[in-house]
Amino acid sequence: MFVLIFKELRQLLPIAWLWLAVIALGFASRLIGSRADEETFASWYEGYLDVGSDPMIAAVAALVGLVTAWSLFPREIDDSTIDFLRALPVSRTQVFMAKYLAAVLLVSCLTIFSYGIDALLLAWNPESLGGKFYPQVFYTLIWRDIVFSAIIVAHGVLISWFRVTGLVVYVIYLLGVAWLESSAGGAGLFSVLSILSNEYHGSRLVVDLRAIVVHAIVAFFLLCIAHFLWGRAASARSGGKQRSRAGGFWRALLSVGAFLALGVTLLRITASENGGLVDDSLSVATTAHFRFAFHPADERTVNYLLAHADEDFKELGARLGADELPTVRVNLAAASEHAAGLATWKTIRMDLDTFEADVSQRRVLSHEAVHVMQSVLSNRALARHFGATRFFVEGMAQYLSFAIVPEEQRRSSNRAIAAVAWKRQDIRFDDMSDPGFASRHDPDLYYSLGDLWTESFVAVCGEAALGDFLRAAGSDDVPRSLSGTVFWHGTLVALGCELERVNDQFQQDMQSLYERTDRSRFPVFDSARVSRLPDGRVRIIATLGAEPDESGVSPELNQDELPARFTVRVGSNASLVAAVDPVFRGRIERSEGEVQIIYEVPARAVPRSRFEYQLGYSPYADSRVWYDTRRTGTAAVEAPAGAGNPSPQ
């Protein structure tokens, strides 16, 4: 057996050289661009050690396993060299196992080799904090990666029997994972990538053992099937090709049939959800600048929009100094849990169920139309600097849409929420222009804080500066790879305006707004208790209190003016696609003069023990939600002994 494994390892040498070259190039590119002795454990493994999993890294790891597996059997069969092996006095099972073990051994050695170099480089950093090495994390990464590779090699051995068809099936599997993550918020154990999902307890890396066990069992069964198939595969010289041609017809027919059935089913689902091309259920109406598609049931709202759309768009064009206005296609029949509207280039989609009032729909249309104009006038420059400009992208859209379609009550409630968050969370321009803002604060603040910042911007630089900014940002003279802060400074200087002055104005405006805001409507969440219920749901009990005064003393909470709606937003578990954090409602309970908010989160939203969440509420009727800063909760997956029953609804 050992001789066989060595023979296979020799045969895998070219692929080993290939991976070594890739590893060498990877190290070389990093060492050329940075001083290795300043790399910390976290910076060296940036991305790979983040909580959750990175699809790009998982894809690379999977590719290594698949390519290695691919080089085990197909070529032996095609070149008929498998016949020599079968002539040896060893069983086909031993040949199969030797090949599989050799592949696993190879990827394991490469993994250990690569991590070994990492360890040497990290040991070079002498810093007392930055130079810390984390043996538990390091060794856990090594064995977890090896297990993942072994599982992927097992997949690869099986799919390589089906050749290209197998590869296509694998791509379909990954698309299925992405689909599940989009539609259900997470693919759970269905996704093999969940093995690479990171979770920490202190500085200890916690692996998802359930995922590993499940996928190891699946891999074992796949290996058994692969053993069965490869064991019976005849080489080309021993008539395999002829036989395979005969059987190939049926195999091809079966594949085509199965593919067609699946394809037709999926297309039917898609078409039925969408209405199909010949879709009589949607009506179409056009104006000078818009083409609307909508459900006939929404005709009243659409008529209102039709009456104002062009006029509003012209006003927008005038405010932005646009010479001409594009034609915009608007899908008013869209349904979305996540946003009232979306815009991409000259296309808008809106969910008319988000708001009741027609004027709100009109303002959403105006908001999305601003995004269209931002893209057109800046030649999509703001998208290139999206992380640094997102607050302004949304803020300008809010500012202009509210200016064109006034909704004073909604705007003032949004602004009050922004002012309280600004003060309590000490949000600055550098925070807003940091791409990580949404992971630390409420992403909805992009809209309301952005609206206020845009107002300060206009106060300092003038209303014409909005359009000028877009044109300046889109100029060919502007380098495309500027950091966020440099981009902001440079673009405003090009306008003859000063970022520092805008930020000064913003600071003063926000302080004044905060002082004017009735903070009794903004209670604070104090402590929160997190536990898992026997049915798997996670219960969060948060205590509500009044905002402390300047001396730090909390007055009595006004229980007559409590927010009407409480929500909790839980961090998403998607790994392959961009998903929105799910939101769940909470309820108020009063006991012994204390006000508690009870949230019960479905088990699927918290598949592992630790999770991130934000507590929030709507301070005014029909207003956006104010969210507290992110917290981390821990709820063991197994229900703790003595955990209480779910409380009555």
Residues 181-240 that bind other proteins (CB under 8 A): 182-183, 200-206
- Report how far apart, in Å, the C-alpha atoms of 356 and of each of 230, 295, 351, 362, 551 are: 62, 16, 11, 11, 43
Minimum Å gap between C-beta 329 and other proteins is 5
**295: helix, coil or strand?**
coil
Residue whose CB is less far from other proteins, 46 or 561: 46
Selected from 23, 172, 212, 562, the binder of other proteins by CB under 8 A is 172
Minimum Å gap between C-beta 509 and other proteins is 11
Q: How far apart are CA 563 and CA 275, in angstroms?
A: 40
Minimum Å gap between C-beta 634 and other proteins is 4
Minimum Å gap between C-beta 371 and other proteins is 11
CB 195 within 8 A of CB 148: yes
Q: Check residue 520 for interaction with other proteins (CB under 8 A).
A: no
Burial label, 17 (beta-carbon count in 10 A; 0-12, 13-18, 19+): exposed
Q: Check residue 475 for interaction with other proteins (CB under 8 A).
A: no
Q: How far apart are CA 476 and CA 438, in angstroms?
A: 30
Burial label, 643 (beta-carbon count in 10 A; 0-12, 13-18, 19+): middle
What is the per-residue binding string for other proteins in 319-338, x denoting contact by CB under 8 A? Answer: -------xx-x-xxxx-x-x
Minimum Å gap between C-beta 199 and other proteins is 8
Q: Check residue 533 for interaction with other proteins (CB under 8 A).
A: no
Q: Check residue 542 for interaction with other proteins (CB under 8 A).
A: yes
Q: Check residue 171 for interaction with other proteins (CB under 8 A).
A: yes
237-256: which residues touch other proteins (CB under 8 A)? 248-249, 252, 255-256
Selected from 135, 436, 479, 648, the binder of other proteins by CB under 8 A is 479
Selected from 306, 383, 546, 595, the binder of other proteins by CB under 8 A is 383
- Report how far apart, in Å, the C-alpha atoms of 218 and of each of 165, 181, 211, 212 are: 20, 21, 10, 10
Q: Check residue 508 for interaction with other proteins (CB under 8 A).
A: yes
Could you tell me the two tokens for 13? Answer: 């040498």
Residue whose CB is less far from other proteins, 15 or 320: 15
Near other proteins by CB under 8 A, which window of 87-95, 148-156, 271-279, 516-524?
A: 271-279
549-578: which residues touch other proteins (CB under 8 A)? 552, 577-578
- Smallest CA-to-CA distance from 287 within 270, 306, 266 is with 306
Minimum Å gap between C-beta 39 and other proteins is 10
Burial 310-339 (b: 16+ CB within 10 A, else e): eebbebbbebbebeebbebbbbbbbeeeee
- Report how far apart, in Å, the C-alpha atoms of 525 and of each of 346, 417, 443, 532, 614 are: 42, 15, 19, 20, 10
Minimum Å gap between C-beta 3 and other proteins is 25
68-97: which residues touch other proteins (CB under 8 A)? none
CB 263 within 8 A of CB 104: no
Q: Check residue 493 for interaction with other proteins (CB under 8 A).
A: yes
CB 484 within 8 A of CB 588: no
19-58: which residues touch other proteins (CB under 8 A)? 25, 28-29, 31-38, 40-43, 49
- Smallest CA-to-CA distance from 630 within 613, 618, 616, 617 is with 613
Near other proteins by CB under 8 A, which window of 131-139, 298-306, 558-566, 589-597?
A: 131-139
